[in-house]
Amino acid sequence: MTIELTGRVAREKIKLLEPPRLDADTLAQFEALGDASSAVSDALDALGVGGAVSGSVLRCIMPRARLVGTALTLRNAARDGDPHQLAQAKDSRMGEIECHNLARPGDVLVIQGVSGASNMGSVGGRMGKRQGERGAIVDGAVRDVPDFQDINYPIWSKEVTPMTGKWRVECVEINGPVKICGIDVHPGDLVVADGAGVCFVPRQHIAAVLAFAQKKVQAEADKCAEIDSGKSIVEMARR
């Protein structure tokens, strides 16, 4: 499928117009797990794969939010030069708008971002919401939090700031590999996020992670039912 670009970002910075996306059934099965980041993290541990980031590092702007989706990636870098002079020249080099233009339902915008300046604002969030994005993960700062809350667009980010990134941030690449809090993420990877944190699952491990997480969630539900039924701790421990 050919997508018309906005022209805001040089074409050579867009690595893939269509990243590999997960099928709706797989996403639905992960969603059925509920707050699944802990089970997914355990699955990644069992596979020897690093992919979990604490919720105290990437904090969600919305209480009790969760998401499951396919990674659509953006890599930003800090700009050189005086931001006030760049503002007067109206010289913006952000590429967030191109990501929203490429987005499809079920995508999660994953940004290797910049500290101290916003990598994403409310207008972009409204575009993303209309395109069907589930939300965003930002290793860096965002702003306009009340606006994102109003449209129910959850974001997990390191920072919140009032300062625009238009004159402080520039797009390096879209739909290439990014590093989020030390974790390598590729376009098309699975993203699972809730109040406990964020997990990134490489595509080749998604089936195994799902099978493990489903058993883990069911086992814990069974244990909770036993506790609620009054079964003794000694009996449960012997099992």
Known binding-site positions = 143-144
Check pLDDT > 70 for residue 134: yes
pLDDT at 16: 58
Whether 7 maps to a domain, the answer reads no
Nearest of 177, 192, 190, 204 to residue 111 by alpha carbon = 177
3-state secondary structure (DSSP) of residue 215 = helix
pLDDT at 140: 98
Q: How many CB atoms lie within 10 A of CB 161?
A: 18
Check pLDDT > 80 for residue 122: yes
Check pLDDT > 60 for residue 23: yes
Whether 3 maps to a domain, the answer reads no
Residue numbers of the domain that contains 71:
13-238
Known binding-site positions for Mg(2+) = 144
pLDDT above 70 covers what percent of the chain? 92
- List, in order, residues 6 or more apart from 210 with CB less than 8 Å away: 26, 29, 30
Give me the mean pLDDT over the 129-149 stretch: 97
Whether 117 maps to a domain, the answer reads yes
pLDDT at 72: 96
Give me the mean pLDDT over the 118-139 stretch: 96
pLDDT above 90 covers what percent of the chain? 79
Check pLDDT > 90 for residue 104: yes
Rg over CA atoms, the chain: 19
- The predicted-structure confidence for 181-201, as pLDDT tens digits, reads as follows 999 999 999 999 999 999 999
Whether 4 maps to a domain, the answer reads no
pLDDT at 2: 54
CA distance 114 to 214: 36
pTM of structure: 0.91
pLDDT band at 4 (very low <50, low <70, confident <90, very high): low
pLDDT at 232: 76
Check pLDDT > 60 for residue 67: yes
CATH number of the CATH domain containing 75: 3.50.30.40
Known binding-site positions for substrate = 143
pLDDT band at 40 (very low <50, low <70, confident <90, very high): very high
Specify the number of domains making up the chain.
1
Check pLDDT > 70 for residue 146: yes
pLDDT at 235: 76
Whether 219 maps to a domain, the answer reads yes
User: For the purposes of burial, counting CB atoms within 10 Å of the CB of 191, is it exposed (0-12), middle (13-18) or buried (19 or more)?
Assistant: buried
Whether 1 maps to a domain, the answer reads no
